[in-house]
Amino acid sequence: MKDSTLYKISLALSVLGVLGLFLFVSLSGHEKVEVGQIDQEYIGRRVEVEGMLGGKYTSEGGHFFFHVKNGEEKLDAVLFKNELEAMGMDPEDVEEGTEVTLVGDIETYEGNIQIRPVELTLK
């Protein structure tokens, strides 16, 4: 093959790779929503919410349960022990009323909508 042909092929593949990466990042992102907006339509989606952490409880097994509240609306959340360890987070270090940003997946547990955070940022 001629050098110019190889150059054209490699350029075309590079452009396709960049477009594919852009598409992947766009589709795997998350949407920023208000706590009160979250309903059944959000189940299975990854979202970002902000609010005040409250109702915190750590189970004997080390799982961390809490809610994030924004105005009168609140959303339950759970971080399992292995997730806490992966985040390097200790629930004892988080005070009630702390402003937080959560990125996580919306799911249901026993008929209640909740978020399973993959990121938790204290403000």
Residue type, 67: H
Please tell me whether residue 94 adopts helix, strand or coil conformation.
Answer: coil
Q: Does domain 33-122 have CATH number 2.40.50.140?
A: yes
Using one digit for the tens of pLDDT, what is the confidence trace for 44-66?
999 999 999 999 999 999 999 99
pLDDT band for position 38 (cuts 50, 70, 90): very high
E strand or H helix that includes residue 17: helix 3-27
Using one digit for the tens of pLDDT, what is the confidence trace for 82-106?
999 999 989 988 899 999 999 999 9
Please tell me whether residue 82 adopts helix, strand or coil conformation.
Answer: helix
